[in-house]
Structure 1
Amino acid sequence: MRSLRRTSLAAIALLALVAGALAATNTATADAPPFAVRGSINQLYVLGATPSQGLELVKGGAVVGTGTVDTAGSFAWRELDPGAYTVRSTNGSNEEHTATVTDYDDPAPAQSFYDAQTLEAGRDYITTRDGTTLSANVVLPSSGSAPYPTVVEYSGYDPSNPANTRMAQIYTALGYAYVGVNIRGTGCSGGSFRNFEPVQSLDGYDVIETVAAQSWAKFHKVGMVGISYPGIEQLYVAQTQPPHLSAISPLSVIDDTYQGTLYPGGILNTGFAVPWATERDESAKPYGQGWEQGQVDGGDTTCADNQALRLQNPSSLDLIQDNPFYTKKIGDPISPALFVHKINVPVFLAGAWQDEQTGGHFPAMLDDFTSSPHLYATMTNGSHTESLSLGVLDRYADFLDLYVGRRTPTGVKAFVGPLVADGITGVKGLQMPKGLDYSGLSYAQALKKFQRQDPIRILFEEGAADGQDPGSPLPRFEKSFKSWPIARAKATAWFLSPGGKLTAKPSKLAPSKARQRSYRADPSALPTTTFDGPGSIWAAQPSYHWKQIPKGKGLGWITPPLKKTVVSIGTGSADLWVRTPNASDTDLEVTISEVRPSGKEVYVQSGWLRASHRKLDRAKSTPISPVHTNREADASPLSRTKFTRVRLELFPFAQPFRKGSRIRITLDAPGGARPTWAFDTIAHGERVQVATDRVHRSRIVLPLVAGVAVPRKAPPACGSLRSQPCRTYLD
């Protein structure tokens, strides 16, 4: 049965190949075997050619491209206009082939294309519209009977690796069939790889439609799941609107690849973003993930054949380094905030403010999901894995049951959640928090109850839940809202004073009488990471090493003790008047913290800006959210003689600042504030001066939200809040 099924899939792939090259003219000589040409979506592939063979790409009688066959016998052209192309050899063989390149906006295949594919439990392949085969691993629940509610995880990691059971176990335990699929050019999947390439979105469409067509997929509908990379891919796939997609649940994602993770504030993130992109390039090389060889050794010839185009993968690192400024051509396609308005299914999204990988900037796109019938977002302090914490998983499991399983939520999550939490944090004996009670409710009643909840949910002080070990992945309290940004948030300013205070009113001193403060921008003054190991940064209490800024290497300002508790939720803005007498540019890092009456200081959030990138997008910027254009044409040096106003965005956060505590900000060169993140900074010891007088009103602006009931208890113990390091405050 399995061999017949593989024959069927191979036939589909062959038909797609033949269809793409039906009009081919083959005038190869007998001296060399003919090569194959296959058209794809805005791409064209040469396979089975002689290494070092020269090629020409011809359209309409004109040569529009050239290339040299790699050692695997392959070559790929990208970003082609649709139409008929001829590939001909330039090595004297006179061989040529013609194939058709299709367009991203072309109609999807007929339903019969998906119905013809049969997937069985275990490792399998899904054929896409251009004939590429994607490696899939199908895992069915161990209990119950088909059809099953079904979810898909789709990414360039190794979701189709049969030995990778981590995510599959979560969803099958909840009663779902799980299908893990590798994107093209990774694992055992065919094709060539480039991060977030448009063709991957259409592949995802084909994956959803193929899986939904299976007899074991309940309702012939599927949901999408995954955290980080597979979370982000959900946004790309869902924008194509597969008709049999029921819902998506993107966890720990990005809203803007450039601003949110890769170049925050225009400064290259060498601590996470560059290594991540480099690792993706390495893992997409032939047999790059390691598990492929075992599959080939076991007789999987498709996996072996699918390595053929890997040497045609473009370098992500080159693309990053060649594009330090934002351009529409490069930046728009990898900015989910610009296309999530196309998503027309229910969405459950979760993430953490202090995410040490994707960065926590994702809330900026929440109001862009304008076509989704239901958007639910849960946000908390914590790390990259916080979107699978107990406080999130409770509502997340309900969402899947209601929108994918179409059933009243059950108590199964109460057993699954603690196992997930233990596996991530090492904390045992935890229990799922008390959530919504659906006892005795029909599915329709349960759905209405879920939908009555305010969709924007903020978990506060994750790691400090009453009665739990410090660092446990549970919140101390929570608050929900109807929309984001929070409508009743009030932009509130504190002004920087010449003496290092944050005050409610600006200084009245004239520029000639106000003492200017300054520092040397020295990125080597602090370590590039605050996580000191050993162990995992996701553990209950990581060993942070959060240092005070050395004297003269940065500046700080602090409020008097607060007379009442205030809660800030959203982004913040640091509006600074700066001058660099001996430089024309500098990199800035602003960090906000809470200094408690006990003398302990707790990290809250940071923001970054290369001063030459200070040009604002006026239409998008608000008093609490400066949005920069980051275009090369808008870059401008700093004056060495006059003070220049720059606005730096503090990434989103939610923090209660209790009565008696003080709010502090620090300013220095980038690199020492956030775990894992480091920067390719231009700071090199230049003097940075900050003006704080009645003309140059430097300030911070935070969104304060009234009506949040903060528990009247002692503040969380130092070091208990997840991803919020704590230290002794030094003035």
Structure 2
Amino acid sequence: MIVETNVIIPVSDGHGLRANVFRPAEGGPHPVLMSLGIYGKDIHFADGYELPWKKLQTLNPAIIDEGSSGRYLRWEKIDPERWVPDGYVVIAVDGRGSGQSPGYLDPFSPRETQDYYDAIEWAAAQPWSSGKVGLIGISYLSIKQWQVAALRPPHLAAICPWEGGSDLYRDWSHHGGILSNSFPTAWLPRQVLPNQHGNAQTHHRDRETGQTTTGPALSDDLLHANRADHVGDLLQHPLDDAWYRQRSPELGRIEVPLFSAGNWGGCGLHLRGNIEGFCRAGAKDKWLHMHIGTHFESFYLPAYIARQKRFFAHFLKGEANGWDREPPIRLEIRSPDGAVARDETEWPLARTDWQRHYLDAAAQSLSTDAPIAAASATFIAMGDGLSFLTAPFAEATEFTGPVTARLWIASSTTDADIFATLRLFAPDGSEVVFAGASDIEPVARGWLRASHRKLDAAMSTTVRPYHSHDEIQKLEPGQPYLLDVEIWPTSIVCPAGYRLALTLQGRDYEAAGVSGRILHNHEHDRPRAEFDGRTTIFTGPGHESHLLLPHIPSQPGATP
């Protein structure tokens, strides 16, 4: 293949991005597959992400084989050596202010999205291009796909957002109105700033040239001035205001064919947005695939690459390969023993038997029978909280879909944060956890700040609350309030003898080997005087707190 490095892509305000272009040596024109990100187009996967690279080699020993030397493998990008032979031009773009692209580094910004639009249209006009451009990539490279697709570039033909949120407020920065600070705080110095254009202190080197991957060195003062204060911006915008709306797409404007892939273990970053994006996109041709495992493995495994290739071959090449007859949804149904793929036709599943499991504060239980007596239980917000358990399941029982906790609470202060964790326990009392995108994960997680309890009536459904996050409604201490907590969607088969539990706390859940990469503990967002109080849960008549679970009947097509 022909490899061109640091090709200049002119953009609409007169600046230029740098891109690496990989294209077939013969024939053409060819469709284009593009990604734009800020992690460095010239950093080899193994050099930038050593531990994930070693794990990926264990999971997929063929990541380097006769089909690929691995020379051009980059974090969260496709391998050109596996795609160019199929007749695609692969383009990796350094976003403005990152890598070799000069400019002001402002993650997720409207300017960056406009740059992507311009890059798509530039690629479509090149003599080696068929005029059809597809987008593919993970995480940041996925989020940018949602953003730019809503701008409707004329030559954008299909997108494949793999594990990436579609709402910057709800999926990335504020879960239930609570600032998710630890990931952005760690992400910036670890993944973003070492790749800032002009960073003379970067440890990254281009294997091909031996030079730094960040272009000519800039002074520390200029380097600092050339980037936005992303964490500071998040702190300055606690509500879903215009700052976030400029960085979150109008999903209904996305009309190109899309293949959205999310991770059941992506709580806090790589789950909700893929489902919401699929459901709310305006495209008539759209597919959803929910998988298991770590954040990066599925993207590079042969079976998943084969599906990516069928999707793009159909929409970028016009191949009659049957993709248009594929069921719109493929779900990997989880159990303690692994997962089994199953095709579906809608989300949520039409045959769902929506079950209310009522909380009983006296027994600390969950049951489909409502308690006959009123009760309450109080926990220290920063303590271990309360857990409500079902009886052991008599037979294998599946729950797949959105989950909602409707809770009556009171706080000893003027606010309270609810961290709702859905957990699975084996008959011996041990907790079942799963390898997830960023952490070891329980079954599902949800969050809500009580002062953000206001619902958006137009966006909420009977099974998935949608909070407006447009005003702060403080609490009167000791007064009961009704909260509808969105717990992110899940899939789990509970074997006979196992139990589900709902754990309610005022802090992040960390137990049973669950690591804490995505936390919510910024002292500016959660001052102890207000969030380290006592929270009371009310149950029974007059305050019927319950968990709404998406039970899937064992026989497909059964009547709910």
Q: TM-score range by the shorter chain?
A: 0.7 to 0.9
- 1:359-378 equivalent positions in 2, closer than 5 A: 359-362=270-273, 363-370=275-282, 372-378=283-289
Q: Which residue matches 2:154?
A: 243
Q: Which residue matches 1:584?
A: 414
Q: Which residue matches 1:456?
A: 329
**For the residues of structure 1 that align with 2:205 and 2:427, how far apart are their CA atoms?**
59
**For the residues of structure 1 that align with 2:218 and 2:119, how far apart are their CA atoms?**
17
Is 1:637 the counterpart of 2:520? The answer is no
**Corresponding letter in the other structure for 1:135:** R
**What is the deviation of 1:262?**
0.9
Structure 2 counterpart SS, 1:376: strand
- 1:320-331 equivalent positions in 2, closer than 5 A: 320-327=234-241, 329-331=242-244
Q: Which residue matches 1:205?
A: 117
Is 1:335 the counterpart of 2:176? The answer is no
Q: Which residue matches 1:616?
A: 455
Contact 2:394 2:496 in 1 (8 A): yes
Q: Higher Cα Rg: structure 1 or 2?
A: 1
Normalised to the residue count of structure 2, the TM-score between the two structures is 0.81
Q: Which residue matches 2:19?
A: 136
Q: Which residue matches 1:531?
A: none
**Corresponding letter in the other structure for 1:460:** I
Q: Which residue matches 2:439?
A: none
- 1:270-669 equivalent positions in 2, closer than 5 A: 270-277=181-188, 280=192, 283-284=195-196, 286-287=198-199, 290=202, 303-304=215-216, 311-327=225-241, 329-336=242-249, 339-355=250-266, 358-362=269-273, 363-370=275-282, 372-388=283-299, 389=301, 392-406=304-318, 443-444=319-320, 446=321, 449-461=322-334, 464=337, 476-497=339-360, 498-509=362-373, 511=374, 514=375, 516-522=376-382, 553-581=384-412, 583-602=413-432, 603-631=442-470, 633=471, 635-669=472-506
**For the residues of structure 1 that align with 2:330 and 2:418, how far apart are their CA atoms?**
32
Q: Which residue matches 1:700?
A: 547
**For the residues of structure 1 that align with 2:553 and 2:210, how far apart are their CA atoms?**
62
Contact 1:491 1:623 in 2 (8 A): no
Contact 1:570 1:653 in 2 (8 A): yes
Is 1:173 the counterpart of 2:116? The answer is no
Pick closer, same or farther for the CA change 1:244–1:120 going to 2, 3 Å: farther
- The superposition leaves residues 558-589 of structure 1 with CA deviations (integer Å, 9 ceiling, x where unpaired) of 111223433222221111111223x2222211
Pick closer, same or farther for the CA change 1:212–1:120 going to 2, 3 Å: farther
Q: Which residue matches 2:60?
A: none
Pick closer, same or farther for the CA change 1:386–1:492 going to 2, 3 Å: farther
Contact 2:421 2:446 in 1 (8 A): yes
Contact 2:335 2:494 in 1 (8 A): no
**What is the deviation of 1:387?**
4.5
**For the residues of structure 2 that align with 1:251 and 1:507, how far apart are their CA atoms?**
43
Pick closer, same or farther for the CA change 1:230–1:299 going to 2, 3 Å: closer
**What is the deviation of 1:502?**
0.8
- The superposition leaves residues 662-708 of structure 1 with CA deviations (integer Å, 9 ceiling, x where unpaired) of 22111112223464111124455422221112111111011223356
**For the residues of structure 2 that align with 1:294 and 1:598, how far apart are their CA atoms?**
52
Pick closer, same or farther for the CA change 1:605–1:598 going to 2, 3 Å: same
Stretches of 4+ aligned residues off by more than 6 angstroms? 291-295, 297-300, 305-310
**Corresponding letter in the other structure for 1:678:** L
Q: Which residue matches 1:62?
A: none
Pick closer, same or farther for the CA change 1:610–1:390 going to 2, 3 Å: farther
Structure 1 counterpart SS, 2:20: strand
Structure 2 counterpart SS, 1:399: helix
Contact 1:569 1:652 in 2 (8 A): yes
Q: How many residues in Structure 1 have an aligned counterpart in Structure 2?
A: 501
**What is the deviation of 1:616?**
1.5
**Percent identity of the aligned residues?**
27
Contact 2:6 2:100 in 1 (8 A): no
**For the residues of structure 2 that align with 1:489 and 1:288, how far apart are their CA atoms?**
56
**Corresponding letter in the other structure for 1:382:** G
**For the residues of structure 1 that align with 2:335 and 2:8, how far apart are their CA atoms?**
41
Q: Gaps (5+ residues) in structure 2?
A: 46-70, 433-441
Pick closer, same or farther for the CA change 1:708–1:151 going to 2, 3 Å: farther
**What is the deviation of 1:353?**
2.1
Pick closer, same or farther for the CA change 1:655–1:289 going to 2, 3 Å: farther
Normalised to the residue count of structure 1, the TM-score between the two structures is 0.63
Pick closer, same or farther for the CA change 1:462–1:404 going to 2, 3 Å: farther
Pick closer, same or farther for the CA change 1:133–1:576 going to 2, 3 Å: same
Contact 1:457 1:481 in 2 (8 A): yes
**What is the deviation of 1:326?**
1.9
**What is the deviation of 1:293?**
8.7
Contact 1:234 1:248 in 2 (8 A): yes
Structure with the higher fraction of residues in strand conformation: 2
Structure 2 counterpart SS, 1:272: helix
**Corresponding letter in the other structure for 1:679:** H
**For the residues of structure 2 that align with 1:677 and 1:299, how far apart are their CA atoms?**
34
**For the residues of structure 2 that align with 1:617 and 1:463, how far apart are their CA atoms?**
36
**Corresponding letter in the other structure for 2:182:** G
Is 1:154 the counterpart of 2:154? The answer is no
Contact 2:416 2:450 in 1 (8 A): yes
Structure 2 counterpart SS, 1:225: strand
**Corresponding letter in the other structure for 2:7:** D
